[in-house]
Structure 1
């Protein structure tokens, strides 16, 4: 079953790949398809809108209650982007809604070369996700990379974006045309304006994949100049970063592997020739055995099932192209079916998309998300972000809160601990809970962090502070004292917190029940169980 799923994912990925680069080599009806596809990577600024619909069909072979719940919630979803603006390749914004069975969730997103900022309806503050080098460290855990390497990561991201048009051109022109492809002249409304366009229609069936892949490999092998330029383009993108890494590794470890690869990183001609020779040899060997290998596989029982399954997969696409070779509108339909009884209740996945674009490569200003009231950091500068912290950042009556907390139950926790002398260390530095005359004492960080709360330790005062974002509870305990506070109110502990070999132990029931969790003790198995919704 695992092999079948892996093969399904691989072939599905190939089908999507063919969609992205279909019709590369030959012009169709006077339309230079390669230019059209390459132009999609050369868009530097534009405005657009898009609607994407996802439909999941169950196979009704006895779904589990949990699986049925997921199908009921997400069997049909729609993402509507009403206003997308690309200012340049590193600054963009969009507004839209995500619709599922129980309602809609509006959102606004803004992106630059350092971070992605997302405002979702119901969130108390915008969410910020750091990107590039900014995402590598936090105040508690700084990045292990040097400043020079962090700078190279940012440069690498920019080089990848800037090189995309030239690299994509080689890939798109190497793909053969699918069997079903045509061009006709049409008039369409784009953002309310009637525009004369050429409509490129293409369909790719799963049964065509074998021949299309062979054609692609054949064309790549035949285009020696193009392949070398493609390898050279990749070298220009990645070699500065790899060279910086190799130099730093060599300085720190005197690594023989670094000495071996350094000449290639310092000599583009040498590197390109080496990679080209290797790829050419591999392609020649693969193509020489391609037909025989495919025939042999399809002759097996598994291969015959795969061949039959491929016939049910397809992708259809309509591209509406203006006289400059720019795609102004697109309509896509992708169907992936699962082998019968091999996808845990999933029969098929259908994705449809429609989009239109205007103001291409004209001055466009991306919108900003208002962060004047502060943000919630998802990475980069603050401590860990947990499901409970995300839910706590939402208004309890919001649609997103209800989805995450009630429907998906992302804050639900179940912890089981066994009291013994030689067993589990629970992954926490070799410490384990113990029973002190009927009171279960647990390592504070182990339990509290698994309940998505934070722990602070003040060595000067021997004070432990537990902050639970979900309930808003703040608990303080002092080593050796049976008095604690819950939100500032003093309470008496059954046992005092203690310090054992540098690890703070606390009475599990007091802390977890004040965080809204339920604690159960099984005398027969000597097991303590903690659950929280």
Structure 2
């Protein structure tokens, strides 16, 4: 049986909270169905929240220095959101801090439907991540047409409106957890005294397995509910899928793929046919899963979900069915801790909300002094770009580069012998009179660099965002420059099968990387700390 990571287990147990909650139609004075519906009717609000991750190390584990360094960092992490503001479904801001050990890093984040903007201590300017960038395209280019962007915006709004119906399907069919209760409680939120009903839920990983089986069994009996559930998803996603297919068809050469489109689109146009087909398919699969659940599904997740994992939550719900406060604790005892060093994991989170569906204005970030576009010209988001945007003296830079070593890279490439046939889809290096020639775009992008090709001058420009180093090569020339300094190459840059090849030592050393060679395997190694 394959071993599952503790992060996978944490994700499953966190999901259990939403699943367990969905199964409680009425608990005491709390109508959980209305509480779920109300959560998706929040268009604007203010709030605060925090989440803490704590690891307990197994003292008997034998760890490498790198493993111990990572574990020391992860022993206690905390994110505090001191002030969150949701102005609309697509416009929000957060102010808070990220803490590890004795360090604390403040940040300010704004989110719109077009981009994320992050101001964080250590960054030289606000950092921007655009939505819809084209990999390899020019800065500001879009991968989505105007119509597709419109469809996505409409999808976001429609998804919120559809969530109560979708959640109602789970509320109807999911069994109640064993431990669930409700009682009156008066709490203070943002200085205001609020009368609430406190909903308390407890789950273990083992219990969740039986709840899931009960849910699937109930779904099989709820034919009408399943069809309505599929119908809501159809109305929600099919308009976007059809527009996406049309966009793909329009981007292809005339006649390419038109036959497939002609087959797919009529099926999507007929909702009754599509829903009936999906319903029949899902029901058949569910029958197979339920019939063999204990033997297949149940046994396969016992190492992931069992009584060594527990989830507890308290939700404070006001008279309008809005959750005004929540407190959640996830506990996981990990098997084989001597191997990975982590004995147990605890995640705690709290949140409060106020000014729900009232006028809220986000806190904007000042970008008048310019921004750092992390996607750049290539549309690629890399660790090197992010770390390169930070002040080398800042705590965040030292954490990411020195402690976590997120920019550490290693590229291994097999060099085929002359005449040897390669089965790789990637461009392969080759030996030219004792000089290993490598595909410059592939290698530099593995090292998080930006690559530009100028057809007019036949020049390749390589920019390393981490160091700021700029190397320029000219096709069929032995001369190159690094930060303006001219260097002589062992072999000229050449074009082979549409790929530019350069001497491996030049491209590596221009990016502060090292080159190694293993004779037995005919492999070239490029490493950067």
Q: Is the 8 A contact 2:438 2:502 kept in 1?
A: yes
- Structure 2 match to 1:69: 69
1:378-403: per-residue Cα shift (whole Å, max 9, x none)? Answer: 34865434332222211011111111
Query: Structure 1 residues 308, 249: CA separation in 2 closer, same or farther (over 3 Å shift)?
Result: closer
- Structure 2 match to 1:373: 369
Q: Distance in 2 between matches of 1:417 and 1:18?
A: 43
Q: Is the 8 A contact 2:9 2:305 kept in 1?
A: no
Taking the TM superposition and a 5 Å limit, the aligned residue runs for 1:311-322 are 311-322=307-318
SS at match of 2:62: coil
Q: Distance in 1 between matches of 2:367 and 2:79?
A: 24
Q: Distance in 2 between matches of 1:198 and 1:439?
A: 74
- Structure 1 match to 2:126: 126
1:345-370: per-residue Cα shift (whole Å, max 9, x none)? Answer: 33332211111110111111122222
1:136-167: per-residue Cα shift (whole Å, max 9, x none)? Answer: 55625976766544543443344323322332
SS at match of 1:5: coil
Q: Distance in 2 between matches of 1:526 and 1:417?
A: 9
Query: Are residues 1:83 and 2:83 paired?
Result: yes
- Structure 1 match to 2:332: 336
Q: Is the 8 A contact 2:29 2:197 kept in 1?
A: no
Query: Structure 1 residues 161, 427: CA separation in 2 closer, same or farther (over 3 Å shift)?
Result: farther
Query: Structure 1 residues 372, 163: CA separation in 2 closer, same or farther (over 3 Å shift)?
Result: farther
Instruction: Give the root-mean-square deviation of aligned CA atoms.
Output: 3.6
1:178 to partner: Cα distance? 1.1
Taking the TM superposition and a 5 Å limit, the aligned residue runs for 1:70-469 are 70-101=70-101, 103-131=103-131, 134-136=132-134, 139-140=137-138, 148-149=147-148, 151-246=150-245, 252-253=255-256, 258-259=261-262, 261-283=264-286, 286-287=289-290, 289=291, 293-294=293-294, 306=302, 310-340=306-336, 344-379=340-375, 382-416=378-412, 420-422=417-419, 430=427, 432-436=429-433, 441-469=437-465
- Structure 2 match to 1:27: 26
SS at match of 1:56: strand
- Structure 2 match to 1:41: 40
Query: Structure 1 residues 473, 311: CA separation in 2 closer, same or farther (over 3 Å shift)?
Result: closer
Q: Distance in 2 between matches of 1:27 and 1:525?
A: 66
1:222-254: per-residue Cα shift (whole Å, max 9, x none)? Answer: 444433332221111012123334556788556
Of 274-283 and 407-416, the range deviating more from structure 2: 274-283
Q: Distance in 2 between matches of 1:484 and 1:261?
A: 52
1:504 to partner: Cα distance? 4.7
TM-score, length of structure 2 as denominator length: 0.85
SS at match of 1:363: coil
Q: Distance in 1 between matches of 2:137 and 2:447?
A: 22
Q: Is the 8 A contact 1:178 1:204 kept in 2?
A: yes
Q: Distance in 1 between matches of 2:412 and 2:270?
A: 57
TM-score, length of structure 1 as denominator length: 0.84
Unaligned runs of 5+ in 1: none
1:441 to partner: Cα distance? 5.0
Q: Is the 8 A contact 2:494 2:502 kept in 1?
A: no
Unaligned runs of 5+ in 2: none
Q: Distance in 2 between matches of 1:481 and 1:296?
A: 62
1:126 to partner: Cα distance? 2.2
